[in-house]
Amino acid sequence: MTKKEKKELTKILITIIILFIVTLLPLDMKVKFILYIIAYLIVGYIVVIKAIQNILSGQVFDENFLMSIATIGAFITGEYIEAVLVMLLYQIGELFQSYAVGKSRKSITELMDIRPDYANIEVDGKVIKTDPEELKVGTTIIIKPGEKVPLDGIVEKGESTLDTSALTGESLPRKVTENDQVLSGCINKTGLLTARVTKEFEESTASKILDLVENASNKKAKAENFISKFAKYYTPIVVILALCLAFLPPIFIPEVTVLECIKRAMTFLVISCPCALVISVPLGFFGGIGGASRQGILIKGSNYMETLANTKTVVFDKTGTITEGKFQVVKVNAKQQEKLLELASLAESYSTHPIAEAIREKFSKKLDKKRVKKIKEIAGQGIQAEIDGKKVYVGNDKLLQSQKIKVPSTNELGTIVYVAEEKTCLGYIVIADKIKDNAKQAISELKQKSHVKQTIMLTGDKKEIADDIAKQVEIDKVHSELLPQDKVEQLEIILKKQTAKEKVAFVGDGINDAPVLTRADIGIAMGALGSDAAIEAADVVIMDDDISKISTAISLSQRTIRIVKQNIYFAIGIKVFFLLLGALGLANMMEAVFADVGVSIIAILNSMRTLKVSNKKR
């Protein structure tokens, strides 16, 4: 509880005590009246003062005004106890609401709290804590186990594992050692690290991400804009209706007294406070965005959440989303697989070509480079070398043909590297961009859980390879052999086919697909941790490269929108219902306050589900 809330609570308690005294003790009417006034002033003077202040500064219609009018009206009509009780209930409601919102806000911001509080630097042989905002690029910082990495940097000394879950939602720890990059916001788990700062605080990953999430609530969704428009017209309309209610019936119906009608009008006014809506809708979005960020999904605005929820077509750029975006050995076809890999690795031991790297990675044992002699690279074909005194050829079919070696036939898809020793081919290695393990499942989840109607893959790759991948992961449509600019064109065609309500999302790895990312209704960048360009270009950023998070992001948005809508319908529905009751004289002032506070609290609690849901899924 804040100081202000505690103060309010004390006032409420004092008022309750006074009310007890008044009702229990046989006091004189005059004394009772004075005590009522005192109780009223204790609990309600702030409301009355605020109402007067607001009127003086030209803002007439707000809830303080409504409450003051209603309670003072009750005093005038002689219902002292009702006046005090209404004000008391109102203040209890306000207190509870303030507490609930504060609590919710705290739990959301805590969830997103990746901001480092301090950095350790060494001064005169002593380690001291300093403000990370003051450190310059090039400063050496010390990160102890259990501490947050305060600034982006490069490890100079030490070895450790980092918990990146605050940034990526991924709980698998990442190993770092000398010359590796460390990102702010990660938690150092095991070892002491000395690192050189590479980015100042404002430019560091943690600051950037926080900035993004914080600014997200400034980009308002339609539902939020609706609320602010609603509030603008709503209050004047309600006041006019209340005036009609007070003065029209007595003119036309002689049996009703003016007094009775004024009372009804006041009840009507009390019921009309729109707080439930005004608070719960932004809170819902905020919770949704906060919950998503905890899972490593950054949504840059509530409006994008709305678009995500209506996504019916997901377009993938193949590389880096469906596939790993990295060459890997997918198959070794030979009688002696180990020997084949060893020969190939040795022959390729000095090459930096991605294919050579893939082969060496697969072999993964230490290479005795002394065994290799006379390495000769033949452009467009491969490598020729002497290993243990024997001639070895590693390359494509052309290389083997040029040496008059018989090439075994194959219909494998991908890049095929043959290995031959002297005059015989020992077998071949298939290298391809590997499909992510969970790609197929993630794409089926998109349809089943997130109600996406269509999935499309765009790629610059050859048709056979693209078709094969699409078949494996069960994607609906493929457009292959596209140049980068063709991708935008292709997306335009897809966009034209959609209705306005059905949105198209484009998923890319953020590397040279920025134009497509911005052109789509919603651009999602994957594997963006550490890549500023990707974070900049996309509307939704998935920090790691887990393809299943696309479905998570869409489902989460749908859930959030659903909760927000529930709140809007529920709050307006209840309000209208009670307004009718009030107008007909069926609800009294106390019930009115109860309805107002009750709806607010239920709506706030409901909003908090946006956060809870995402927690459960973790």
Partner 1 sequence: MKKSYKLENLDCAACAAKMEEAIKKVEGVNDVSVNFMLQKLKIDMNEENYDTIIKEIKRVCKKVEPDCKILDK
- Site membership for partner 1, residue 53 (CB under 8 A): yes
- Site membership for partner 1, residue 108 (CB under 8 A): yes
- Site membership for partner 1, residue 282 (CB under 8 A): yes
Which residues sit opposite 182 in a β-bridge?
Answer: 153
Could you report how far apart the first and last alpha carbons of the chain are, in Å?
29
Instruction: Give the chain's count of helices (H) and strands (E).
Output: 20, 22
Q: How far apart are CA 415 and CA 408, in angstroms?
A: 15
Among 228, 257, 448, 518, binds partner 1 (CB under 8 A): 228
Across the beta sheet with 181-182, the strand order is: 126-130, 119-123, 140-143, 193-197, 153-157, 181-182
Which residues sit opposite 53 in a β-bridge?
Answer: none
Single out the segment in contact with partner 1 by CB under 8 A; choices: 263-271, 274-282, 482-490, 547-555. Answer: 274-282
CB of 98 to partner 1, least distance (A): 6
Q: Taking the CA atoms of the chain, what radius of gyration do you get in angstroms? A: 34
Single out the segment in contact with partner 1 by CB under 8 A; choices: 166-174, 211-219, 453-461, 569-577. Answer: 211-219
CB of 199 to partner 1, least distance (A): 19
- Quick one: three-class SS letters along 413-424? CCEEEEEEECCE
Residue closer to partner 1 by CB (options 81, 111) is 111
* Binding residues among 466-525 for partner 1 as defined by CB under 8 A: none
| Tokens (6 digits) for 609 | 């589900």
Determine phi and psi for 587, rounding to 5 degrees.
-120, 135
Single out the segment in contact with partner 1 by CB under 8 A; choices: 213-221, 258-266, 460-468, 580-588. Answer: 213-221
Among 176, 195, 197, 279, binds partner 1 (CB under 8 A): 279
Among 268, 286, 393, 594, binds partner 1 (CB under 8 A): 286
- Site membership for partner 1, residue 87 (CB under 8 A): no
Single out the segment in contact with partner 1 by CB under 8 A; choices: 52-60, 173-181, 240-248, 312-320. Answer: 52-60
User: Total number of residues binding partner 1 (CB under 8 A)?
Assistant: 24
Q: How far apart are CA 529 and CA 185, in angstroms?
A: 11
| Tokens (6 digits) for 520 | 């789509």
- Site membership for partner 1, residue 248 (CB under 8 A): no
CB of 62 to partner 1, least distance (A): 8
Q: How far apart are CA 79 and CA 101, in angstroms?
A: 33
- Site membership for partner 1, residue 107 (CB under 8 A): no
Determine phi and psi for 501, rounding to 5 degrees.
-85, -25
Other beta carbons within 10 Å of 229: 10
The secondary structure of 419-473 as a DSSP string is EEETTEEEEEEEEEEEEPTTHHHHHHHHHHTT---EEEEE-SS-HHHHHHHHHHH
* Binding residues among 125-154 for partner 1 as defined by CB under 8 A: none
Q: How far apart are CA 381 and CA 379, in angstroms?
A: 5
- Site membership for partner 1, residue 199 (CB under 8 A): no
Q: What is the DSSP letter of 506?
A: E
CB of 571 to partner 1, least distance (A): 13
- Quick one: three-class SS letters along 213-230? HHHHCCCCCHHHHHHHHH
CB of 243 to partner 1, least distance (A): 22
Residue 180 appears among annotated catalytic residues:
no
Residue closer to partner 1 by CB (options 286, 304) is 286
Among 27, 33, 50, 490, binds partner 1 (CB under 8 A): 50
Question: Is residue 330 helix, strand or coil?
Answer: strand
- Site membership for partner 1, residue 4 (CB under 8 A): yes
CB of 271 to partner 1, least distance (A): 17
CB of 277 to partner 1, least distance (A): 9
Q: Which of 163, 317, 509, 521 is catalytic?
A: 317
Task: Pick the closest to residue 438 from 473, 474, 477 (CA basis).
Answer: 473
Single out the segment in contact with partner 1 by CB under 8 A; choices: 278-286, 469-477, 528-536, 542-550. Answer: 278-286
Which positions ≥6 away from 184 have C-beta within 8 Å?
114, 116, 132, 148, 149, 150, 151, 152, 204, 205, 206, 207
CB of 299 to partner 1, least distance (A): 14
Residue closer to partner 1 by CB (options 3, 335) is 3
Residue closer to partner 1 by CB (options 218, 352) is 218
- Site membership for partner 1, residue 12 (CB under 8 A): no
| Tokens (6 digits) for 248 | 């029209």
CB of 268 to partner 1, least distance (A): 20
Asked if residues 508 and 489 have their Cβ atoms less than 8 Å apart, the reply is no
Single out the segment in contact with partner 1 by CB under 8 A; choices: 21-29, 68-76, 173-181, 210-218. Answer: 210-218
- Site membership for partner 1, residue 179 (CB under 8 A): no
Residue closer to partner 1 by CB (options 109, 531) is 109
- Site membership for partner 1, residue 57 (CB under 8 A): yes
- Site membership for partner 1, residue 383 (CB under 8 A): no
- Site membership for partner 1, residue 10 (CB under 8 A): no
| Tokens (6 digits) for 437 | 């393990």
Q: How far apart are CA 111 and CA 615, in angstroms?
A: 10
- Site membership for partner 1, residue 115 (CB under 8 A): no
Q: Could you list the active site residues?
A: 317
Residues contributing to the site for partner 1 (CB under 8 A): 2, 4, 50, 53, 57, 59, 62, 94, 98, 105, 108-109, 214, 217-218, 228, 231, 274-275, 278-279, 282-283, 286
